[in-house]
Amino acid sequence: MPSATIRNAAIPNPSVMKNHDHSFPSSSPQAITRGIYPQKTVGTDQNGTASNIDEVTFLRLPGVKEITGLSKSSLYTLIQEKSFPAPVRLGARTVAWVRSEVRQWALERIRASR
């Protein structure tokens, strides 16, 4: 019965498995956009854009919603009113927000409410 041998060969040995760390990064938006490089502070120039492109970090919609506490429709309404930073197009069907711009918006909201 060669097929039984093949099936048994595909089953991993549990004693070998427990000696290896098989953990993967979190699937949160922050982990996906951050990658494996450490986070650096981003400065902005006169136009409000990031001064060093190597230090830009993107947030996808779930991360922006988590930071702001706003719904998707509220975010896009604010973007239309020019009251929230517009997303950056990353691909044909992919957009993301610049983390420093979202953070700056949040800080301005705090200052305005105090």
Question: Is the distance from CB of 55 to CB of 41 less than 8 angstroms?
Answer: yes
Q: How far apart are CA 94 and CA 43, in angstroms?
A: 25
User: What are residue 75's phi and psi, to 5 degrees?
Assistant: -60, -50
Residues 106, 110: Cα–Cα separation, whole Å: 6
Distance in angstroms (rounded) separating the CA atoms of residues 30 and 52: 20
pLDDT at 38 over 50: no
Q: Kindly tell me if the per-residue pLDDT of 105 is higher than 70.
A: yes
The pLDDT of residue 51 = 59
Percent of all residues in the chain with a pLDDT value above 90, rounded to a whole number: 50
Tokens representing residue 63 in the block? 């991360």
In percent, the amount of the chain with pLDDT more than 70 equals: 53
Question: Is residue 31 predicted with pLDDT exceeding 90?
Answer: no
Average pLDDT of every residue of the chain? 74
CB atoms within 10 A of CB 62: 13
Please tell me the distance from the alpha carbon of residue 61 to that of residue 27, in angstroms, as a whole number: 14
**Please, which pLDDT band fits residue 37 given cuts at 50, 70 and 90?**
very low
- The more confident residue out of 78 and 49 is 78
Question: What's the Cα-to-Cα distance from 17 to each of 5, 7, 12, 22, 23, rounded to whole Å?
Answer: 20, 18, 7, 8, 12
At 112 the pLDDT is 95
What band does 55 get if pLDDT is binned at 50, 70 and 90? confident
